[in-house]
A and B are shown apart, each in its own frame.
Chain A
Amino acid sequence: MRPSRRDVLTGSAAAVISAAATPSRAQSPAAEAVTPALIEAARKEGKVTWYAAMDLPVSERVARAFEAKYPGIAVRIERTGSERQFVRLAQEYGSNIRVADVINASDAAHFIVWKRSGWLAPYLPDEVAKFYPAEHRDPDGQYFTSRIYVSSLGYNTNLVKPEDAPKSFADLLDPKWMGKIVKAHPGYSGTIMTATYQIARELGWEYFEKLARQKVMQVQSSVDPPKKLAAGERAVMADGNDFTLIQLKEQGQPVETVYPAEGSPLIVCPNAVLKAAPNPNAARLFQSYLLSREGAQVLCDFAAQQSAHPQVTAKPGRRKLADIKVMKDDPAAVEAEAEQIKKRYVSIFKV
């Protein structure tokens, strides 16, 4: 009698539990290739639900590419900002609702919590085993970096001359930017949560206290400040996705990215398969695809994001991550300080 998929899953779940019992030793699962059997099982499930705290046009594009490669498996995307998604998942799991198959967040700290709660399934796609550097792999094989970008500054080229544009975080504190700055909120966006931690660590909270006096316009997602720039609603942005600015500029919108002199906060977004995924095979197939050279290339080409996969090549003319001065990311510290960061932020910015 061949073991069913469910048996295999229960077995791997048991493996995690034993791994958790001896936390000192990381136990990576064996690498798994995409087999015809997996594709067939995924097709029987017919769908996969991806909780993705990711710009919708980007995630939907990746989803359509997956559907084109594996016809018969529909991808449903649930998009909210990472911080809301984190609450949602906890709320759903607290009520025994298991809808999510695969999950992506721009606040890497969340994966530490989910892993600790035992919600993630160990699953190591063979391309990840072969190509991904260690710093982009969870040692227990539960989550892997799916995309990398930075939170940058930017300006509207119709409203600001290049020579007047801010070059650094410090420049934003110039009184000439009073009422002209837009920024996103760490209570909603995982990118901004991560960035706020890094900026506060490097520049101190005094920076935010001074910035708050500039009458900053607050929006929620890190996708929105670039859009507010493109619309001309504000002249400069204090944080937000650099890749959204790059996309908008390539569409002919009057925006320009600025990588601040102090360094740009580095955003590393993992992706994971959930242990209680209702479509476990489709979830694994999707995880394999997203992290493969092919899937990562879609993300890189369309969304100007970087991959941890060394074979993914950036479009000519786009700036490489290696050429940008970045701040260091530290998910463990974000996890420890998240509540404090949000509280402090609200007391400074009043919203």
Chain B
Amino acid sequence: MTIAVPAELADRRTFKFDMTWPVMFGFMAVLCVLIVLPISWLVYYSLTAVDPVTQARSFTLDQFRTLFSDPEFVDPLITTVIIAVSSSIACCVIAAPMGWLVARTDMPMTRTIRALVTASFVTPPFLGAVAWEILAAPNSGLLNKLFRLVTGAPQDEHLLNIYSLPGLIFVIACYTFPYVFVLIANALDRIPSDLEDASAMLGGTAWDTARRITVPLALPALLAGALIAFLQAMILFGSPAILALPAGFHTMTTKIWSLFQYPPKPELAAAASLPLLVLTVILLRGQAMILGRKGYTVVGGKGAEPRLIKLGWWLVPAALFVTIVLMLPVFLPYFALFNAAFSPIATTLVTPFNATMHNIYFTFFELSSTKVALKNTFLLGAMSATIGTLLALVISYLTARQAVRGHRVLAFLATAPIAIPGIVLGVGLFLSYTRPPLVLYGTLWILLIAYITIELPAAYQQLQSAFKSVHPELEEASRMLGASRLRALRDVTAPLLRTSVLATWCFIFVSTIRELSAAVMLFTSETKVVSVLIFDLKESGDLGAISVLGISMLVLTFIVVVGVSRIPGFGAGTRLRNT
């Protein structure tokens, strides 16, 4: 009798354990299809060329020879590196102090500040670029007009020129700094103050505490932020597509895009994307080396509220700093867009005498693509966010807990797409899914696959760092009590992570809506999305309609994000450390 009970128990355990494996291999298979397929096509294309006579593909290194010798490609490569480094540094310099102010000081209105940073994140980079064009075009820009009005400077003098390399770097930094801010603020949120208290009790000054406790604890987040900012700037297509042409230079992404002008040169485009892939792999390795083996597990079964530092009279410069930072990506651009929505000419200030409803009427009643594009965009956003979050959750669990043997491969696969410019991934997917067995081009599925693939790295990194900061002791406890890995994940870890999961869902949703570069390769007239519609409108300079669409998109996105965070039992308001 006494023997039968443990045997039964053992049987049950084995059964549960087995259930875990098919799920894991399923996810690995999905990842392989998502990522390996388009990359293989890209590598194949970059190394082959079609013989004009026989129509056969044969091996060649011509593409790479052109890439590294022709100044037409070398110049954009250098420009891209300059842009990525500069805007990454700018992002960190702005986002780190701001994240600290919001998370660790008694700064008032932190919820509003976070919401406004979210607003700058929700703003697609191409829309921000259009808005900054309205503000800072050298002659017609509103800020330059103001400058001339105030100083009495002559017509051809200007304060700002957005059609320049610094102008482009500035606009890119404006819309990548939220990535860094969110990472740093969240990390600082999670650092309990008992370590800082210990330092203070041992006689450390505030400076010592900051240098030896807070900064090292926040460093992984800052590094991850700098890396994401660098990569985002490197693969960004939207802002350069708006500003680089009038400024008279190319970045790698706009150059790759121009390779698809007639006659399309997909081989060269594939080759041009590979240096970006290599660079990213090196950077990711570098990050891993810097962080080394230091563990930063700070959320265990127990924890303490962070204690907020009193700013005192420092509040004034701090508030000023935050206001200026928020002016640049949010207040000023949206002022410009609102102005353009009601103005006959985008760069003319609206007055009661010239205000017009024409742009709104045109966008919603004359423009025949508006409805289709809005519907597709929000459908794709919700689907990509749901599927992408699930995928990222399981993968980051497997890698954070090193639950399967191939977890390093899995981690690499999940991070790899970040190195592929969306526009090139678009080509890879185009090559993969325009031939049997899966003919998906022309359907929303191909866009869904593109979005999930593109957003996976960021979603994975977010959830992975969240997993890392939850100590496995809680899961281990639940597994010792007989739960399978999946059950422990569902019942213990996932609830602890629900803020992160929710944040990831919203992140993918918003990123999908912002996405332009892959969509611009993969859309057809029936599967058009708002970003592509705006891009098409920009081609012919219809700034009024762009403004109306952009503002509508922002409002709808906010409704969805707020709505999701109000779902009962899933609320963003619940504080992780209190559970």
Q: Cβ of A97 and Cβ of B246 under 8 Å apart?
A: no
Q: Cβ of A219 and Cβ of B258 under 8 Å apart?
A: no
B156 to chain A, nearest CB (A): 8
Q: Cβ of A350 and Cβ of B249 under 8 Å apart?
A: yes
Question: With an 8 A cutoff between CB atoms, is A95 at the interface?
Answer: yes
Question: With an 8 A cutoff between CB atoms, is A157 at the interface?
Answer: no
B-chain residues with CB within 8 Å of residue A180 when the two chains form the complex: 156
Q: Cβ of B345 and Cβ of A253 under 8 Å apart?
A: yes
**Cβ < 8 Å to A, chain B residues 315-355:** 344-348
**Cβ < 8 Å to B, chain A residues 57-99:** 57, 60-61, 63-64, 74-81, 83-84, 86-87, 90-92, 94-97, 99
B-chain residues with CB within 8 Å of residue A99 when the two chains form the complex: 442, 524-526
- Segment touching A, from B298-306, B366-374, B553-561: B366-374
Question: With an 8 A cutoff between CB atoms, is A167 at the interface?
Answer: no
Q: Cβ of A60 and Cβ of B366 under 8 Å apart?
A: yes
- Tell me if B's interface is mostly helix, strand, loop or mixed: loop
Q: How far is the CA of A100 from the CA of B526 in the complex (A)?
A: 10
B551 to chain A, nearest CB (A): 19
- Segment touching A, from B179-187, B477-485, B536-544, B562-570: B536-544
Q: How far is the CA of A350 from the CA of B73 in the complex (A)?
A: 11
- Segment touching A, from B120-128, B261-269, B467-475: B261-269
B530 to chain A, nearest CB (A): 15
- Segment touching B, from A22-30, A129-137, A227-235, A319-327: A227-235
Out of B139, B345, B541, name the residue touching A224 (CB < 8 Å).
B541
Q: Cβ of B368 and Cβ of A63 under 8 Å apart?
A: yes
How many residues of chain A are within 8 Å of chain B by beta carbon?
A: 61
Question: With an 8 A cutoff between CB atoms, is B439 at the interface?
Answer: yes
Q: Cβ of A221 and Cβ of B366 under 8 Å apart?
A: no
Known: A56-B537, A63-B368. Is A83-B261 also a contact (CB below 8 A)? yes
Q: How far is the CA of A204 from the CA of B492 in the complex (A)?
A: 75
Question: With an 8 A cutoff between CB atoms, is A342 at the interface?
Answer: yes
B496 to chain A, nearest CB (A): 46
Q: Cβ of B434 and Cβ of A95 under 8 Å apart?
A: yes
Question: With an 8 A cutoff between CB atoms, is B25 at the interface?
Answer: no
Known: A99-B524, A233-B139. Is A223-B366 also a contact (CB below 8 A)? no
**In this complex, what residue of B is CB-closest to A98?**
B442
For B245, B344, B537, B545, the residue with the greatest tally of chain A CB atoms inside 10 Å of its CB is: B245
Known: A80-B539, A87-B261, A253-B345. Is A220-B245 also a contact (CB below 8 A)? yes
Q: Cβ of B137 and Cβ of A233 under 8 Å apart?
A: yes
A19 to chain B, nearest CB (A): 27
A305 to chain B, nearest CB (A): 15
A70 to chain B, nearest CB (A): 15
B-chain residues with CB within 8 Å of residue A231 when the two chains form the complex: 137, 140, 345-348
Question: With an 8 A cutoff between CB atoms, is B248 at the interface?
Answer: yes
Q: Cβ of A95 and Cβ of B441 under 8 Å apart?
A: yes
**Cβ < 8 Å to B, chain A residues 198-238:** 215, 217-221, 223-224, 227-228, 230-234
Q: Cβ of B362 and Cβ of A57 under 8 Å apart?
A: yes
B-chain residues with CB within 8 Å of residue A339 when the two chains form the complex: 262-263
A212 to chain B, nearest CB (A): 9
Q: Cβ of B367 and Cβ of A97 under 8 Å apart?
A: no
Question: With an 8 A cutoff between CB atoms, is A104 at the interface?
Answer: no
Q: How far is the CA of A79 from the CA of B545 in the complex (A)?
A: 14
Question: With an 8 A cutoff between CB atoms, is B412 at the interface?
Answer: no
A-chain residues with CB within 8 Å of residue B262 when the two chains form the complex: 83, 86-87, 90, 338-339, 342
Question: With an 8 A cutoff between CB atoms, is B244 at the interface?
Answer: yes
How many residues of chain B are within 8 Å of chain A by beta carbon?
A: 48
A25 to chain B, nearest CB (A): 31
A343 to chain B, nearest CB (A): 10
Known: A92-B442, A233-B347, A251-B344. Is A218-B248 also a contact (CB below 8 A)? yes
Q: Cβ of A224 and Cβ of B540 under 8 Å apart?
A: yes
Out of B348, B525, B539, name the residue touching A220 (CB < 8 Å).
B539
Q: Cβ of A76 and Cβ of B369 under 8 Å apart?
A: yes
Q: How far is the CA of A159 from the CA of B155 in the complex (A)?
A: 8
Q: Cβ of B434 and Cβ of A351 under 8 Å apart?
A: no
B-chain residues with CB within 8 Å of residue A90 when the two chains form the complex: 262
A-chain residues with CB within 8 Å of residue B524 when the two chains form the complex: 92, 97, 99
Known: A221-B540, A253-B345, A338-B262. Is A185-B368 also a contact (CB below 8 A)? no
Q: How far is the CA of A51 from the CA of B528 in the complex (A)?
A: 14
Q: How far is the CA of A99 from the CA of B263 in the complex (A)?
A: 22
A-chain residues with CB within 8 Å of residue B156 when the two chains form the complex: 179-180
Q: Cβ of B246 and Cβ of A219 under 8 Å apart?
A: yes
Q: How far is the CA of A221 from the CA of B258 in the complex (A)?
A: 15
Q: Cβ of A57 and Cβ of B250 under 8 Å apart?
A: no
Question: With an 8 A cutoff between CB atoms, is A262 at the interface?
Answer: no
Question: With an 8 A cutoff between CB atoms, is A49 at the interface?
Answer: yes
Q: Cβ of B366 and Cβ of A232 under 8 Å apart?
A: no
A-chain residues with CB within 8 Å of residue B372 when the two chains form the complex: 76
Q: How far is the CA of A64 from the CA of B104 in the complex (A)?
A: 58
Question: With an 8 A cutoff between CB atoms, is B163 at the interface?
Answer: yes
**Cβ < 8 Å to B, chain A residues 118-177:** 159
Q: How far is the CA of A51 from the CA of B205 in the complex (A)?
A: 69
B-chain residues with CB within 8 Å of residue A217 when the two chains form the complex: 163, 246, 248
A73 to chain B, nearest CB (A): 12
B-chain residues with CB within 8 Å of residue A94 when the two chains form the complex: 434
Q: Cβ of B442 and Cβ of A351 under 8 Å apart?
A: no
Out of B258, B348, B367, B538, name the residue touching A187 (CB < 8 Å).
B258
Interface flags, B428-462, vs A, CB<8A=1, else 0: 00100010000101100000000000000000000
Out of B249, B540, B542, name the residue touching A351 (CB < 8 Å).
B249
**In this complex, what residue of A is CB-closest to B145?**
A232
Q: How far is the CA of A351 from the CA of B163 in the complex (A)?
A: 13
Q: Cβ of B541 and Cβ of A57 under 8 Å apart?
A: no
Q: How far is the CA of A94 from the CA of B435 in the complex (A)?
A: 10
**Cβ < 8 Å to A, chain B residues 234-290:** 244-246, 248-250, 258, 260-264
Known: A49-B525, A87-B261, A185-B245. Is A234-B369 also a contact (CB below 8 A)? no
B-chain residues with CB within 8 Å of residue A286 when the two chains form the complex: none
Out of A78, A87, A159, A230, name the residue touching B264 (CB < 8 Å).
A87
Out of B261, B536, B541, name the residue touching A219 (CB < 8 Å).
B541
Q: Cβ of B369 and Cβ of A78 under 8 Å apart?
A: yes
A183 to chain B, nearest CB (A): 10
B-chain residues with CB within 8 Å of residue A330 when the two chains form the complex: none
Question: With an 8 A cutoff between CB atoms, is A289 at the interface?
Answer: no
**In this complex, what residue of B is CB-closest to A216?**
B248
A-chain residues with CB within 8 Å of residue B163 when the two chains form the complex: 217
A-chain residues with CB within 8 Å of residue B538 when the two chains form the complex: 220
**Cβ < 8 Å to B, chain A residues 92-116:** 92, 94-97, 99-100
Q: Cβ of A97 and Cβ of B536 under 8 Å apart?
A: no
Instruction: List 27 A-B residue pairs with CB atoms under 8 Å apart, sorted by A's residue number.
Output: A56-B537, A56-B540, A56-B542, A60-B367, A64-B366, A76-B525, A80-B539, A83-B262, A95-B441, A159-B155, A217-B248, A218-B246, A219-B245, A221-B540, A221-B541, A223-B541, A231-B137, A231-B348, A233-B347, A234-B139, A339-B263, A342-B261, A346-B72, A346-B258, A347-B72, A350-B250, A351-B248
Query: 12 extra interchain contacts, Cβ-Cβ under 8 A, other than A217-B248, A231-B346, A350-B248?
Result: A56-B542, A60-B368, A97-B442, A99-B524, A219-B245, A219-B541, A227-B543, A231-B345, A232-B140, A233-B139, A234-B139, A347-B72
A residues with CB within 8 A of B: 49, 51, 55-57, 60-61, 63-64, 74-81, 83-84, 86-87, 90-92, 94-97, 99-100, 159, 179-180, 185, 187-188, 215, 217-221, 223-224, 227-228, 230-234, 251, 253, 338-339, 342, 346-347, 349-351
B residues with CB within 8 A of A: 72, 137-140, 155-156, 163, 244-246, 248-250, 258, 260-264, 344-348, 362, 366-369, 372, 430, 434, 439, 441-442, 524-526, 536-543, 545
